[in-house]
Amino acid sequence: MMADLHALAADIGPRGTGTPEEAVAADYVANRLTSMGIPVERHTFQAVTSQNAFPIAINLVALLAVILYSLNKEILRSVAAGLALTTAPMLWQTIRTSNIPLRFLLPMVTSQNVIASIKPKQDVRQHVVLLAHLDTNRCRMIWQSSTVRYLEPLTYLTLVILALLGLIYLIGVLFHDPGWVWWISLLFAAYILGSLVLLWIDDRTQYSPGAHDNAASVAVALAISRRFKTNPLQNTHLWVAFTGAEETDHSGLKVFLDKHKSILTQSAFIGLEGVGSGDIVFLSRQGLCAHYRPDPEMLNLTKRVAAHSTDLNVQEAQMTMEDEIGTLRRRGYKAICIAGMDPDTGSLPRWHRPDDTVDSVSIEIMETAADFVTRMLREIDNPSSLKQEG
């Protein structure tokens, strides 16, 4: 596992969505799987270039509304009110779905998936997908471990500011532009302009090396792939999906789901995030503002495995973090996230930071994550496996 971790996070280094380094990481993973004798499927697709592209576009719509309203024509004031009223719902849609109606206007890059398929010893009765994303994020100012506590308050504040801008312009239209509307709206416009500038600066920061997020998870997923290639599950088809564009709009996962919709509808999904150090946990609540929870059946199974695996000391936790489990749960799939958690910050270790490097990762923690997920998969395949081991 350490060799794979070093190859991804040190030799290849930062792997921003759509960058040449992300493509090299995909080739590396595909070659590793092929060397194990595991069939590989590749997907290439278009993805939004940055997570900030969504709020930047929304803020530009809000500022356009401010400009149109200032032109002091009735029809333009109505258009301004309509535009402003769309901004808060679009931001909420971004939080929930990593998508907005303006997506076709956003800058795009080419990303890719690497999908491993490990068939069972006997007939296929069910499918399970293990997820580990290939790309890394930038070293964010707010979306990082040391400032994660500010994420939700700032997001709620932005939602309120955008909603108030729309409401005050609607009042201006309904009451034929009382003079105070414009002046008050300038206060909201100043906040929106400031946010826009900070988002632009944030998108100019360097990419994180991503040793924890998510090279450690990729290395763990490769180790698990090797285990089940050697000793397959009895009746469970195991897919190991190394996805691209997780850090922007989850396009890799969405492409994978679309290509295999007929067989994945009832599948179970296990996501791996930041499993390089700290405490290995399973998340019972996560997300930003629009929180989501794992599938109850998956949560109960994970609790059962954790209770039986006292040697691994895997605990339940909650985390302010958006990942592919959110997309899965909002589409009705059975899914849960296994993560590494920094006990000091309550976030992924060194999340979106420049010091997320190989030297900070623990092989013991990676082995704990691999062993725990292996037991989960065996319990999914054979619900009596824990009793047999006991």
Q: What is the pLDDT of residues 30-45, one digit of tens each?
A: 999 999 999 999 999 9
258 and 186 in a common domain = no
pLDDT of residue 388: 58
Whole domain around residue 239: which residue ranges? Answer: 2-50+109-138+207-389
What average pLDDT does this structure show over 50-73?
A: 96
Question: Is beta strand 236-243 parallel, antiparallel or unpaired with respect to 126-133?
Answer: parallel
Number of domains comprising the chain: 2
Give the whole-number percent of the chain exceeding pLDDT 70: 98
Q: pLDDT confidence of 75, banded at 50, 70, 90?
A: very high
Cβ atoms of 154 and 55 within 8 Å: the answer is no
pLDDT of residue 88: 98
74 and 46 in a common domain = no
Write down which residue in 152, 180, 202 finishes a domain.
Answer: 202
Residue 302 has pLDDT above 70, yes or no: yes
170 and 188 in a common domain = yes
Tell me which of 179-188, 210-219, 243-252 is least confident.
Answer: 179-188
64 and 35 in a common domain = no
87 and 163 in a common domain = yes
CATH number at 238 reads 3.40.630.10
127 and 41 in a common domain = yes
Q: What is the pLDDT of residues 108-158, one digit of tens each?
A: 999 999 999 999 999 999 999 999 999 999 999 999 999 999 999 999 999
117 and 91 in a common domain = no
pLDDT of residue 314: 98
311 and 166 in a common domain = no
pTM of the model: 0.95
Q: What is the pLDDT of residues 359-373, one digit of tens each?
A: 999 999 999 999 999
Q: pLDDT confidence of 387, banded at 50, 70, 90?
A: low
